[in-house]
Chain A
């Protein structure tokens, strides 16, 4: 841990941690660009950085966005990103009752406490899981990626068939370029740009940046920021008493939900809200501005952020779109996340952990006193904001390889993402599958080579058997559910 703070507290890394948190808060506050788009954009700027600085900054964006997202939920009833949708329910009502300060305060403190808890959990659990994963063979990896993708599709809101289709399309997109085993070219049609495969950054920025802006352009909404004066950012003693348990429960719950594949922070916040409502002595008051409804979910989404790093850092398997981008960031620097990651790059792992402590503290300072500035930023007219975001997307993609073709790829995926989303196909399973594709293909082919074409290899090994059973359960369960509903 001492090494970690040694890395995290160098002036350069402190600066990057600060920048990441700042950009993250900004992204969380402003509608139109979520954390996935922002990480994709900044990914292209991390090439020349030290790997530690790069991942410290990108992580800052991720948890910064969780903090910032709550601000807009409370003040304007517009969630800056999906993980703070629930915060609107009670946070905005609190603001209307003149308690915006208490709501913002508890969400910042709750996020800080939960974020710190999550980091401690990550610190203990990741090395443990990493050691266990050393005994994993290709069959386990195949089963793990399969179970992960199925779970993500299961958890996606809306049709599971559509989510599975997106996952398969993503896997197919992952096969573009050179075959990971034999090196033969696939689906490149002789173009150089596609030889290394479809770029993660252009595709992610298209699906999550450009598509998002296009969606926002369909209706230009009039902006209204709640004009109440924000006073008393410190919650009073009763607020603290009411929030203590929701924050504690949210921290634990969020952390474990974060580890599971899928949009951890989003689900964690919803589950925490439901749980607090059920446990409350006055569930009927939820939705009218009770502080528990803000404290629990805000805590949960922040500790989930920390939890979601565990599968990536210890198993080398990203579990959400944003983790897929983190994996990309590490691999650009030639670092392969996985069971050996912590042993091979201790200063990187511990530096990253330490930076998350530092970052959480920075965010508390950034968010509370500066809330006035964030609110004023919200008033930036869309007509200026949207072109700027689009320009950043263009520069971000171009700066990767100075290749105009990649801009075209981004725009194509932007248009595709826009239409697909309108028909109910989500981008997250696609991008995740695209990154998992090569891992899945390699492990599947290696497994079959080992077993001489016998698929029983995925059932004879205990860990595989459990994962495959889970996968089957997630696939079959929705069919039964529908049947029961039909009766």
Chain B
């Protein structure tokens, strides 16, 4: 945990310095008439101070047992595959349309999390795509992208 805390503190300090420059572009005004930059700049300064406090605390900390369980390799694989699928969905959604994207999304997610039989994967994915389309597009009237299929 000590190393994680030090990393987090340094990252936050870095972020606040970056934001200090970014916020510097706004007009600060003065205490009597605070302008756009006043609140962000005050917050960034506070963030910098807090990250330094965290750093000092972490440096004084002894390395004790890790508070969060270490993730095994297959855990990382599942997370990476899931995230890649979700980002892929966002990228193709408007091009492929809701039905097709959801079908593919479900196939990939089911395979990413566990690997059930292909027949089961296809059936679940198909049913999810159709039922969710019915539920959201027809019942709830949510506008969903039609994409290449045109529906």
Contacts and interface: CB of A to CB of B under 8 A. Distances in A.
A402 B67 contact: no
A477 to B, nearest CB: 16
A119 interface: no
B32 A218 contact: no
A407 to B, nearest CB: 4
B46 interface: yes
Given A387-B110, A411-B87, A423 B8 contact: yes
A445 B36 CA distance: 10
Interface residues of A, number: 56
Interface residues of B, number: 63
Contact of A175 (B43, B86, B106): B43
Interface stretch (A66-74, A239-247, A256-264, A447-455): A447-455
B145 to A, nearest CB: 7
Contact of B22 (A187, A387, A395, A407): A187
Interface in B1-23: 1, 4-5, 8, 12, 19, 22
A387 B105 CA distance: 8
A445 B39 contact: yes
Secondary structure type dominating chain A contacts: helix
Contacts of B130: none
Interface in B112-143: 113-114, 116, 124, 128, 132, 136, 140-143
Contacts of B40: 172, 175, 186-187
Interface string A153-178: 00000010110110011011001000
B143 A399 contact: yes
A220 B141 CA distance: 35
Contacts of B105: 387, 391, 394
A388 B127 CA distance: 11
A159 B86 CA distance: 32
A186 B71 CA distance: 38
B44 A448 contact: no
B93 A165 contact: no
Interface of A: 45, 48, 159, 161-162, 164-165, 168-169, 171-172, 175, 179, 181-182, 184, 186-187, 210, 213-214, 217-220, 382-384, 386-388, 390-391, 394-395, 398-399, 402, 404, 407-408, 411, 415, 418, 422-425, 440-441, 444-445, 448-449, 452-453
Interface of B: 1, 4-5, 8, 12, 19, 22, 26-27, 30-36, 38-40, 43-44, 46-47, 50-51, 53-54, 57, 67-69, 71-72, 75, 78-79, 82-83, 86-87, 89-91, 93-94, 102, 105-106, 109-110, 113-114, 116, 124, 128, 132, 136, 140-145
